[in-house]
């Protein structure tokens, strides 16, 4: 991901791709918008960098990247820097030193910047009152919100609302509408087709270009809808029982489409590969599919081992009908339940669902491990540790673990086996291919992107992969 550019002569920072052209000697680079703000710069009014949620993909210490991910997920909303450091297995002092050396901003500073950016997007896009925006974005008081806006944007919330453009305002029709911006390309057609084929009846539903699902917010049910909004954003329509959790709902909704993945680096690396390169040219914008709830995805994945996709959907539907929580009034959307929690599934009787005993034991063991923290689904541990925690359950192998890691957003997860790899590729590509092990090593650290292209290649007749749109 390209760094943010700050101009010392104007005191303004811009997102990558902004049309401003300052002299190179006046430009300073920062990996995060929060770092530019910590150095005293304010956001450009032309490119509005606060519209692009802060995300970090880089070759620095992995721990810093995982800490950033946890902070953007809201770990510091109610926790402390010391608790975050403990979760990552380091001291608070060492964590702050890493952030200072590599990012130029403290963990708390990043959390405040992220919260203030989200509030600014609410001021632009919605008609929520300033008080509603403050508490929806997670601020404890209006005074705190005003202070944060002045520190980050050099203006009060009221002044920021007055500066919004006419086209920014989104009128909500039966739900709160928000833009989910992203960089680069997004092949929404392929992604929504993938999600539709694996949709859990009653929990998820796809119609035309819209993905819908039930969610649980503060122990109460809600509904999310995702659909295209423009060349650089999806639209989220959120029907929520509590707006206080909106910032976290938005971050989790972004993961469904993997919107925080910057495709520039993997496309540059994999585009030179003799196997994946032709697929990249044929199908630009493919992103590894994400997940709203990794636990739910894990249960569906385990149930789906060694059975057809239709059978896996039917078996998971029976689990939902028996142990999920019914939600009234959503049948017209194709939704009926919320997914049963790990606590429920860990102790539930799964007899009579049609699951083999071994598979039922695996599902319960997985739910129990998630419930007691033996399996962490928040990306706070390395890929290797995550795979080890999954394969510690009898019957679950590396392929299952890597697939779930891919759906969590791990860029180097590598679920395909050699048999699936050989079936996915046209003969002319297989003939020039190295061994499977050598090929996958060459795809690091973007094996999840390569795997996604291999899956998609199966949809084409052998030998007939052509560039989308070509005659």
* pLDDT at 417 (0 to 100): 62
Choice between 23 and 375, residue whose per-residue pLDDT is larger: 375
The rounded distance, in Å, linking the Cα atoms of 176 and 288 is 27
Note the maximum CA span of the chain.
71
Q: Are strands 42-43 and 12-14 parallel, antiparallel or unpaired?
A: parallel
Confidence of residue 442 (pLDDT cuts 50, 70, 90): confident
Q: Yes or no: say if 305 and 315 are a contact pair by the CB < 8 Å rule.
A: no
pLDDT surpasses 90 at 82: yes
Please give the average per-residue pLDDT across 205-229, as a whole number. Answer: 94
Q: Tell me if residue 448 falls in helix, strand or coil.
A: helix
Please give the average per-residue pLDDT across 193-199, as a whole number. Answer: 94
- Tens of pLDDT, residue by residue over 326-353, are 999 898 899 999 999 999 999 999 999 9
The rounded distance, in Å, linking the Cα atoms of 66 and 329 is 39
Please give the average per-residue pLDDT across 355-376, as a whole number. Answer: 96
Nearest to 50 by CA among 39, 68, 34: 34
- Tens of pLDDT, residue by residue over 102-113, are 999 999 999 999
Confidence of residue 425 (pLDDT cuts 50, 70, 90): low
* pLDDT at 461 (0 to 100): 45
pLDDT surpasses 50 at 467: no
Per residue in 387-403, is it b (16+ CB within 10 Å) or e — as a string?
bebbbebebbeebbbbb
Choice between 14 and 415, residue whose per-residue pLDDT is larger: 14
Please give the average per-residue pLDDT across 26-45, as a whole number. Answer: 91
Helix axes 246-256 and 107-125, enclosed angle (nearest 10): 90
Q: Tell me if residue 13 falls in helix, strand or coil.
A: strand
The rounded distance, in Å, linking the Cα atoms of 148 and 78 is 17
- Tens of pLDDT, residue by residue over 148-191, are 999 999 999 999 999 888 777 665 456 899 999 998 899 999 99
The reply to whether omega before 247 is within 30° of 0 (cis) is no
What is the average pLDDT value for the chain, to the nearest integer?
A: 88
Helix axes 107-125 and 142-153, enclosed angle (nearest 10): 100
Q: Identify the structural domains of the chain with CATH numbers, from first to last.
A: 1-56 (3.40.10.10), 110-162 (1.10.10), 176-260+291-408 (1.10.340.30)
pLDDT surpasses 60 at 263: yes
* pLDDT at 389 (0 to 100): 97
Residue 257 token pair: 């489409």
């Amino acid at each position: 991901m390209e760094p943010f550019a700050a101009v010392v002569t104007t005191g303004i920072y811009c997102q990558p791709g902004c049309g401003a052209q300052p002299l190179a000697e006046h430009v300073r680079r920062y990996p995060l918008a929060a770092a530019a703000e910590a150095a005293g710069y304010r956001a450009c009014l032309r490119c509005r960098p606060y519209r692009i949620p802060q995300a970090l993909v880089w070759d620095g210490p992995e721990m810093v990247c995982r800490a950033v991910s946890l902070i953007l997920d809201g770990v510091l909303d109610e926790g402390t820097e010391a608790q975050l450091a403990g979760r990552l297995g380091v001291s608070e002092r060492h964590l702050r030193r890493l952030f200072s050396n590599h990012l130029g901003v403290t963990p708390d500073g990043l959390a405040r910047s992220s919260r203030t950016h989200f509030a600014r997007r609410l001021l632009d896009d919605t008609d929520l009152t300033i008080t509603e925006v403050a508490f929806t974005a997670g601020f404890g008081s209006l005074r705190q919100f005003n202070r944060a806006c002045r520190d980050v944007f050099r203006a009060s919330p009221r002044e920021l609302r007055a500066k919004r453009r006419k086209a920014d305002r989104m009128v909500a029709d039966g739900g709160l509408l928000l833009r989910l911006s992203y960089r680069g390309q997004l092949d929404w057609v392929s992604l929504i087709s993938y999600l539709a084929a694996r949709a859990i009846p009653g929990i998820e539903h796809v119609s035309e270009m819209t993905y819908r699902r039930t969610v649980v917010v503060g122990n109460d049910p809600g509904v999310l809808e995702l659909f295209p909004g423009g060349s650089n954003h999806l639209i989220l329509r959120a029907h929520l029982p509590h707006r206080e959790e909106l910032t976290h709902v938005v971050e989790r909704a972004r993961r469904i489409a993997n919107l925080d993945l910057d495709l520039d680096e993997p496309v540059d690396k994999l585009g030179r590969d003799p196997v994946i390169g032709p697929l990249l040219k044929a199908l630009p914008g493919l992103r590894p599919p994400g997940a709203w709830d990794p636990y739910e995805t894990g249960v569906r994945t385990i149930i789906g081992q060694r059975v057809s996709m239709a059978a896996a959907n039917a078996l998971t539907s029976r689990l939902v009908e028996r142990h999920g929580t019914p939600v009234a009034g959503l049948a017209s959307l194709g939704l009926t339940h919320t997914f049963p929690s790990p606590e429920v599934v860990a102790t539930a009787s799964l007899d009579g669902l049609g699951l083999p005993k071994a598979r039922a034991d695996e599902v319960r063991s997985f739910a129990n491990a998630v419930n007691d923290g033996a399996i962490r689904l928040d990306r706070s541990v390395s890929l290797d540790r995550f795979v080890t925690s999954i394969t510690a359950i009898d019957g679950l192998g590396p392929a299952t673990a890597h697939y779930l890691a891919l759906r969590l957003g791990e860029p180097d997860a590598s679920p395909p086996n050699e048999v699936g790899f050989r079936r996915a590729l046209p003969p002319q590509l297989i003939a020039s291919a190295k061994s499977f092990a050598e090929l996958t090593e060459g795809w690091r650290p973007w094996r999840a992107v390569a795997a996604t292209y291999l899956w998609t290649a199966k949809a084409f007749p052998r030998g007939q992969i052509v560039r989308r749109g070509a005659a």
